[in-house]
Structure formats: structure tokens, C-alpha cells
Amino acid sequence: MNDHYQVIDNRWLVDVFSVGPLQCNCTIIGDLTSKQCLVFDPGGQAVDIFNRTKKHHLDISALICTHAHFDHILAAGDLHQLTGALIYLNRHDFSLWKSLELQCNFFNIPYQPIPNPQHWIVDEQVLPCCSGIALHTPGHTPGSMSFWFESACLLIAGDTLFRHSVGRTDLWGGNQEQLQRSIREKLYTLDEKALVITGHGLLTTISEEKRMNRIVPAIPC
């Protein structure tokens, strides 16, 4: 995808850009008042991510992984070393985190060890800045998380929801029925105008997905 940059209400900075071997969408969400930011899905290119936060004059409060597939976490360790920011993950994905070498070998990606997460995210947890709320949305993986920023009308969906599609469930820990429940019960109930940052590819909106998603229509067939 092309880099997507947006400032909302002169308060929130949102910077979305592709990183790593599978071009995961990494997102920086910053509070322009406090100068603190969150980095979601640091899937590669740690120095590039760090430099973008510095370009925006922001300090990283947390490194947040929507789930523990290798393409969303590869730069987490290097960024932790660079900044001291804690790595956040849902505990249900810890077994996936520990299988990073196996995942890299499976996809023929160079393996580099990363430290274990330092903070376990739970459902409805308030994030350390930017007024975000964590939503447990299992299905793509057991610990998949989405993140809702009501004041910015913005959702980070990870690999749970894509534009007109959903994340695959044929990898480790995937469950199609659980994924559909997460989308219908947690994501489709949010503001229809909400901008959705997906884990890969184009951005979308809740309204667009309720009307056009070919895998999970708003009303089950």
C-alpha cells in the first residue's frame, strides 16, 4: 500500500506504512499534545520506524502487537532496545511468540531472536496514551487484538479484518467461526464511519465492510 498519513482534529497523528518481508501495515498513533505515541505491529525495519517517530517529534510509550505472527513482530526487539518501550501482547498468543524461529523457517525468513513481551494486553484495557481501548478479537490467532480509538473514530484491526476480506485461519491457532464472531460482535458494532487500519493492504471503514465484506456480511446468510 502507499503510505497513509493523516492528522485528525489537530490532536491525533496517524502514520501508516508498510514494513517487513510481508509488507505488514505498521501504525504510529501519536498525541500531539503530550508528544507520546504508540507503535502497532512493528513487523520490520526498526530504524525506519524509530526515525518516523522522531520526525514527528514523538516518544514511544508502547510497542503493541495485534498478534504474534512473525510479520507483525520482527522489529519489536530492536525497537525495545532503542527506546526502552515495553512490548505488549495478549497472553493467548505467547505460544506463537515462542515459535518465532519455526514461523520464520516455514516462510524462509531470516530468524532473529526477540525478547518476550513485557506486558500482557487484556480485553477492554485502556492503552497508555491516545485514549485507545483494547478489544480481544480472536480467530486469526487465539490472542488477536484490535484497538479502538473512539475520539479519533479509528480502529486498528490487525489481521482480523481486511478490506472486503478477513485474515486467514489456516495457520497456527486460527478458527474461522471465532473470527466471524469477533468481527460481528466486536467490530461491526463500532461507529460505521470509523476508519479501519488493516494488517495488510488498503484501509477501509466499518460501513464499507458491513456492506461489502465477502467473507463476513453484517447479517449471516
Q: Would you list the domain boundaries of the chain?
A: 4-212
Read off the pLDDT of residues 124-135 as tens digits, 9 standing for 90 and up: 999 999 999 999
Inter-residue contact 26 to 18 (CB < 8 Å) = yes
Quote the pTM value.
0.95
pLDDT in tens, 61-86: 999 999 999 999 999 999 999 999 99
CATH topology of domain 4-212: Metallo-beta-lactamase; Chain A (3.60.15)
Q: Cell numbers of 7, please?
A: 492528522
- For the chain, what is the mean pLDDT? 95
Task: Please tell me the distance from the alpha carbon of residue 199 to that of residue 140, in angstroms, as a whole number.
Answer: 11
Separation CA 110–CA 166 (nearest Å): 27
In the predicted model, is pLDDT for residue 4 greater than 80? no
Distances (CA, A) of 4 to 13, 51, 63, 181: 11, 16, 20, 29
